[in-house]
Chain A
Amino acid sequence: MSEPFEPKIVAFVCTYCTYAGADLAGTSRMKYASNVRIVRLPCTGRISPMFILKALQKGADGVLVSGCHPGDCHFAQGNYHARRRWTVFRALLAFTGIPEQRIRFSWISAAEGAKFAELINTLTEDIRKLGPFEQYHELQKVIETQSTY
């Protein structure tokens, strides 16, 4: 295949920090990989692990979850709850064989437009090297074919 693999990355971000940071990257005309699809939530505290599973089910090769730095949450405590959730969910995904490098978490503030752009670029290259998440996507493909019985 002559064309490089273009990973599909879904980013679940909070409105007041990371989304604003992404916006800043945009208004500052910083270039970053267009592989990411951004889904905006009010706060990382709203992000349920279901979202990550759904993204994988729908064909994502990588998922980023990002929000305000601890102490800076617009809703005061949302990201503290999120942090605990991520710690636990990450361990669970790793244990079931979903590679840790595919599901990433970050704190990106509204001022960190450059960090956002850089992170997306790095993440895209990392996932590109890992390749498509075939193991998971196979499960979806099998559903769409005839029953094996």
Chain B
Amino acid sequence: MGIQEQYISEAAGLLASGAVKLVIGYCEGSTPDRRRPVFVRTPAEAERLMLDGACVANLSTYLITEGLLSDGKSVAVFLKPDGIRSINILAAEAQINPEQVVIFGFDIENGQARTLAGRKASDFTSVVEAAKAAGLSADLQKESERLVQMSAEERFEYWKEQFSKCIKCYACRQVCPMCYCRRCIVDVNQPQWVNTSSHTLGNFEWNIVRAFHLAGRCVACGGCDRSCPVNIPLRLINHRMAKEVLDAFDYYAGESTDQKPVLATFRQDDPETFIL
């Protein structure tokens, strides 16, 4: 049985027995290469589920939909290691109860989906450990090298050009499982810290603030980068933040459901090379 058939059968089983009230997965999109999120509630509907190498979106973002888990029932969701880390972070930040989440784990290798064994977030500890050991994306590191080689002025010009495209659609924020604030800082107007207008300055401020609020929380699922309608390489900024917390604090987001947030904790011997 292929991975897709296996999970369809499991999903149908869990729904039929009432073990879960909902399965969040992927189904075909408006074109053959697209997959879209689907919400399956009956065993019959489970036939719509698909799982292949095109299923890249991080579906954990739907778990924080207001009221979804408030009835105490369980929800099953298809997740790759990045999504599993998202569950850990959401649980650690007290946004969801990980016991209510049944994970259909998978990973994509050479364009194919393969199963990851486990059902609860805690079953995937070794998967996350392996991900941490593998290090951050070498491709992203290479891409950001080009920027790091530039002078500060050149880098500023680069980001100025990129951020001038931003239209403040907030797709990056909406798709991100970590952006769950009821009122985002940019929507706070007493006081107005960040300019809401989408002129380049406002865009600069918005993107810097969001990157900072994701430092040590981003799992590099790529959702923000893929959703950006104007193709701003957000992945580079979030990667830089992930690298900083790893280098400075040996911190890798989403290791467990009780990992303390990186900026809410400290060590007395934290590095301070730049402080005068």
On A, residues with C-beta under 8 Å from B are 49-50, 53-54, 57, 70-71, 77, 80-81, 83-100, 104-107, 119, 135-136, 139-140, 142-143
Contacts and interface: CB of A to CB of B under 8 A. Distances in A.
A54 B51 CA distance: 46
From A49, A81, A84, residue with most partner B Cβ within 10 Å? A84
Interface residue SS majority, chain A: helix
Nearest to B197: A143
B208 A92 contact: yes
B65 to A, nearest CB: 28
Given A80-B270, A84-B249, A88-B212, A95 B275 contact: no
Nearest to B158: A97
Interface residues of B, number: 50
Contacts of B153: 97, 99, 135
8 contacts: A49-B209, A54-B193, A87-B244, A88-B212, A92-B211, A92-B212, A97-B160, A139-B204
A70 B268 contact: yes
Nearest to B150: A97
B123 to A, nearest CB: 31
B250 interface: no
A49 B262 contact: no
Contacts of B157: 97, 135
Contacts of A95: 144, 147-148, 155, 237, 240
B248 interface: yes
Contacts of A57: 195, 201, 205
Interface of B: 144, 147-148, 150, 152-160, 185, 193-195, 197, 199-201, 204-205, 207-209, 211-212, 215-216, 237, 240-241, 244-245, 248-249, 262-268, 270-272, 274-276
A85 B248 CA distance: 11
A105 B275 CA distance: 5
Contact of B275 (A53, A93, A107, A143): A107
Given A87-B272, A95-B147, 10 more contacts: A49-B208, A70-B268, A81-B263, A84-B249, A88-B241, A96-B208, A105-B274, A105-B275, A119-B276, A140-B201
